[in-house]
């Protein structure tokens, strides 16, 4: 097998024998869905390959390649009447430089569109297209006049339509600047108005992809004919891999000589890469395709699992979490997202919002959670009994981005960055939790207590441990793992490929006792020893509850992973002042 990591050309994949997970069976459904479709997915989720597949299927110039390209795929057995019946033109707004002045951006956009028009004309042998360097809308009109003289019509494919809006988020540029692009007769709005006007006048179909629905509301009056299909259950897995598909590939790789059990590899991939859902009707969970191909290619070529489970090609998503974290109450949203048992409940996803909303409007929790969903670091996981959408972090790779963001926000000094790896390593190798507890009491709690959070409780204690202990190089580290009809607070299970490292399997259960329950002040709590705090009736009761849960969940983990030396801990936060802990005997 050859895995097409970072390869997005459908023709190359098929002709050179690369792995391709067939999605051509959805072509009839896409045709029925409408003539101008808008499809949104996170970065690196297979959108460009999808557009390439559509290009090869509909292109009139590729009719003689149809059997070679599609003969072995689902659509090849029962093609639609529209196959190879269109002229194709492609716009990719990620190639347009969105920096510089407004006139410079306008010129860059027109250059890109004009280049695409010239490429289209050259492909179909049209030499009479008039290119207007200063007005690509006129160039498009000239192209459509030519198309209307032909027996076929145009299929326009637009990739990264929201590239300009993403620049708003990342660069923080002024609202007035983008109003020149999107409002009134702004250049981008005018361009989409021309696309709308071209429907039935040379343009037969349009397929638009992007990361988020930002700018859709800004474009409404200019382009109000696009149909949103990105939340429809039928297209949930249009991009991405199902678990059954991943399992089949792993079985095949093992049959070709892999030395690792397919079930073990699947469990690792499930933990790190699975969990995405793009349907409000509770569709099947999906694996991120780029991360999956990164893993599979490493497994095949090097005979081992990747040491770093986060492919650095997705690392730029950190900037989007930084944007949310810097908004008022943004940190609270990240903290709530890490509370995997509850997740974030919102009335509904924001389906269209404009640049003004991103720049100037009040950012409430539904707004921020919706953005995190479109960025691919939250996903749909169900509904509340009040018909609200529940969003959760999809997998461990996404969780690592949250942990990294909070740690960088709270503990950004040189001393912090030097100390954290030391106390983490000490605990993971020796099982002695006290140096980590000392760091939390002396450094972490003073930072958290000065912040205006509404959670001064068990969640904040758990977040402190989670952000300090997270290490996906060695661990499958999962918070809120469902186990034995309950949820483990925090488990650190050594990855199967890292069993040779000196690292313990660990499980921690957290509880919290407020100062009011103890009828003590913070100063009084700080003056007591850990043994004195542990002897207090309320604290002892919580330690006992945590210990019982740790034993129960630990037994389930031992059975699931075949562990021989799982260390269990009961941890009680006493206000945001102290931490009391004890090891828990198994059995």
Written as six digits, the tokens of 502 are 């000196």
| Residue ending a domain, choose from 377, 392, 408 | 408
The predicted pLDDT at position 6 comes to: 86
pLDDT 10s digits, 253-290: 999 988 889 999 999 999 999 999 999 888 899 999 99
Residue 71 is assigned to a structural domain of this protein:
yes
Question: CATH number, domain at 328?
Answer: 1.10.10
- Is 140 within a domain? yes
**pLDDT of 452:** 65
Asked if residue 568 and residue 503 are part of one domain, the reply reads: yes
Contact 62/69 with Cβ under 8 angstroms?
Answer: yes
Q: How far apart are CA 188 and CA 209, in angstroms?
A: 16
pLDDT tens digit sequence for 307-365 = 888 877 666 567 788 888 988 889 999 999 988 778 899 999 988 877 777 777 778 99
pLDDT of residue 574: 97
- Highest mean pLDDT among 175-189, 241-255, 403-417 belongs to 241-255
Q: Determine the average pLDDT of the residues in 18-30.
A: 98
> What pTM, to 2 d.p., does this model score?
0.94
Same domain as 171, residue 98? yes
Distances (CA, A) of 12 to 2, 68, 549: 12, 12, 54
Task: With CA atoms as reference, report the closest residue to 90 among 157, 153, 36.
Answer: 157
The CA R_g of the chain, rounded to the nearest whole Å, is: 27
For the segment 373-395, what is each residue's pLDDT rounded down to a tens digit? 999 999 999 999 999 999 999 99
84 and 112 fall within a common domain: yes
Mean of the per-residue pLDDT values for the chain? 92
Which tops the pLDDT comparison, 218 or 554? 554
- pLDDT band (50, 70, 90) for residue 215: confident
Percentage with pLDDT > 70 across the chain: 95
99 vs 469: which has the higher pLDDT: 469
Let me know whether 573 and 463 are in one domain: yes
The pLDDT confidence band at residue 453, using thresholds 50, 70 and 90, is low
Asked if residue 261 and residue 156 are part of one domain, the reply reads: no
- What is the strand order of the sheet 389-392 is part of? 344-346, 389-392, 379-383
Both tokens of 539, joined, read 């604290």
Dihedral over Cα of 158, 160, 166, 170: its sign: negative
Diameter of the chain by CA atoms? 89
If one counts every other C-beta atom within 10 angstroms of the C-beta of residue 313, the result is 13
Alpha-carbon distance of 304 to 298, in angstroms, equals 7
Q: Please check the confidence at residue 27 and state whether its pLDDT lies above 90.
A: yes
Phi/psi for 282 (5° steps) reads 60, 65
pLDDT bracket for residue 231 (50, 70, 90): very high
Q: For residues 404 and 415, state if they share a domain.
A: no
pLDDT exceeds 90 at position 78: yes
pLDDT in tens, 35-50: 999 999 999 999 999 9
SS3 assignment, position 529? coil
Most confident range (mean pLDDT) of 13-22, 103-112, 181-190, 398-407 is 13-22
Q: How many domains does the chain have?
A: 4
Residue 111 inside a domain? The answer is: yes
The conformation of residue 495, written as its DSSP 8-state character, comes to -
Q: How far is it, in rounded angstroms, from Cα 499 to Cα 486?
A: 27
Supply 518's token pair: 């103890």
User: Does 110 reside within a domain?
Assistant: yes
pLDDT tens digits along 133-158: 999 999 999 999 999 999 999 999 99
Ranking 76-80, 217-221, 389-393, 552-556 by mean pLDDT, the lowest is 217-221
d(CA 398, CA 403): 9
**Which pLDDT score is estimated for 557?**
92
Are 194 and 141 contacting, i.e. CB atoms less than 8 angstroms apart? yes
Give the pLDDT of residue 282. 80
Six token digits for residue 195? 């696309």
Q: What is the per-residue pLDDT for 170? A: 65
Q: End of a domain among 253, 282, 307?
A: 307
Confidence tier at 480 by pLDDT (50, 70, 90): low
- Both 570 and 425 in one domain: the answer is yes
Domain membership flag for residue 3: no
The answer, yes or no, to whether residue 180 has pLDDT greater than 80, is: no
90 and 19 in a single domain? The answer is yes
Domain annotation covers residue 2: no
Confidence of residue 218 (pLDDT cuts 50, 70, 90): confident
E-only strand ranges, 462-577: 475-483, 486-494, 505-513, 566-574
DSSP state of 444: I
Q: Are residues 201 and 228 in the same domain?
A: yes
Return phi, psi of residue 249, to 5°. Answer: -65, -45
Strand order from edge to edge, sheet including 505-513 = 475-483, 486-494, 505-513, 566-574, 578-584
Of 396-400, 503-507, 509-513, the poorest mean pLDDT is in 396-400
Query: What is the helix (H) or strand (E) element at residue 438, kind and residue range?
Result: helix 434-439
Task: Give the CATH number for residue 170.
Answer: 3.40.50
Residue, of 464 and 456, whose pLDDT is higher: 464
Query: Could you write out the DSSP letters of every residue in 25-54?
Result: GGHHHHHHH-SEEEEE--TTSSHHHHHHHH
Please report the pLDDT score of residue 484 as a whole number. 60
DSSP, res 212? S
Structure confidence at residue 173 (pLDDT): 59
513 in a structural domain: yes
Same domain, 573 and 459: yes
Cα distance between residue 475 and residue 493, in whole Å: 5
Residues 404 and 417 in one domain: no
**In the listed set 181, 216, 235, which residue is the last one of a domain according to the structure?**
235
Give me the domain span that covers residue 132: 10-235
pLDDT on residue 101: 82
C-beta of residue 335 within 8 angstroms of C-beta of residue 463: yes
pLDDT of residue 317: 67
Determine the straight-line distance between the first and last CA of the chain, rounded to whole angstroms.
Answer: 46
Alpha carbon 402 to its chain's center: 11
Q: Are residues 188 and 212 in the same domain?
A: yes
Flag whether 230 is in a domain: yes
DSSP 349: -
């Amino acid at each position: 097998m050859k895995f097409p990591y970072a390869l997005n050309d459908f023709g190359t994949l098929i002709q050179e024998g690369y792995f391709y997970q067939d999605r051509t069976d959805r072509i009839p459904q896409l045709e029925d869905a409408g003539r101008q479709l808008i499809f949104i997915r996170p970065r690196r989720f297979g959108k460009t390959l999808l557009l390439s597949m559509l290009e090869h299927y509909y292109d009139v110039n590729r009719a003689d390649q149809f059997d070679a390209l599609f003969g072995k795929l689902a659509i090849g057995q029962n093609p639609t009447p529209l196959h190879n019946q269109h002229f194709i033109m492609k716009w990719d707004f990620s190639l347009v430089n969105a920096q510089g002045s407004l006139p410079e951006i306008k010129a860059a956009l027109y250059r890109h569109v004009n280049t695409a028009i010239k490429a289209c004309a050259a492909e179909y042998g049209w030499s009479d297209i008039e290119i207007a360097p200063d007005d690509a809308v006129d160039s498009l009109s000239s192209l459509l006049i030519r198309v209307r003289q032909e027996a076929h019509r145009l299929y326009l494919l637009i990739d990264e339509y929201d590239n300009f809006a993403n620049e708003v988020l990342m660069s923080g540029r002024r609202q007035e600047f983008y109003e020149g692009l999107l409002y009134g007769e702004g250049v981008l709005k005018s361009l989409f108005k021309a696309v709308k006007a071209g429907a039935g006048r040379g343009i037969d179909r349009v397929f638009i992809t992007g990361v988020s629905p930002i700018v859709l509301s800004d474009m409404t009056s200019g382009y109000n004919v696009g149909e949103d299909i990105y939340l429809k259950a039928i297209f949930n897995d249009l991009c991405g891999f199902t678990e059954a598909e991943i399992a089949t590939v792993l079985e095949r790789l093992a049959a070709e000589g892999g030395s690792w059990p397919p079930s073990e590899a699947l469990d690792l991939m499930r933990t790190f890469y699975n969990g995405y859902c793009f349907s409000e009707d509770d569709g099947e969970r999906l694996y991120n395709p780029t991360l999956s191909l990164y893993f599979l290619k490493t497994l095949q070529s090097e005979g081992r699992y990747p040491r770093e489970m986060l492919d650095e090609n997705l690392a730029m998503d950190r900037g989007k979490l930084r944007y949310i974290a810097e908004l008022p109450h943004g940190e609270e949203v990240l903290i709530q997202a890490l509370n995997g048992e509850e997740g974030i409940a919102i009335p509904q996803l924001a389906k269209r919002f404009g640049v003004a909303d991103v720049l100037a409007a009040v950012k409430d929790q539904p707004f921020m959670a919706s953005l995190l969903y479109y960025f691919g670091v939250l996903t749909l996981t169900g509904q509340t009994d009040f018909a609200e959408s529940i969003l959760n972090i999809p997998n461990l790779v996404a969780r690592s981005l949250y942990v990294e963001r909070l740690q960088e926000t709270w503990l950004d000094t040189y001393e912090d960055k030097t100390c954290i790896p030391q106390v983490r390593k000490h605990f993971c190798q020796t099982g002695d939790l006290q140096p980590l507890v000392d760091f939390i009491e002396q450094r972490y709690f003073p930072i958290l207590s000065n912040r205006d959070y509404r959670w001064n409780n068990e969640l904040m204690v758990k977040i402190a441990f989670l952000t300090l202990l997270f290490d996906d190089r060695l661990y499958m580290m999962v918070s809120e793992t469902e186990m034995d009809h309950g949820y483990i607070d925090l488990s650190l299970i050594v990855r199967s490929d890292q069993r040779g490292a000196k690292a313990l399997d660990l499980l921690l259960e957290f509880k919290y006792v407020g100062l009011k329950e103890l009828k003590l002040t913070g100063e009084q709590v700080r003056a007591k020893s850990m043994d004195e705090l542990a002897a207090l009736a309320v604290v002892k009761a919580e330690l006992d509850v945590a210990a019982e849960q740790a034993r129960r969940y630990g037994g389930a983990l031992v059975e699931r992973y075949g562990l021989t030396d799982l260390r269990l801990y009961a941890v009680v936060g006493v206000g945001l002042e102290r931490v009391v802990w004890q090891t828990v005997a198994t059995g």
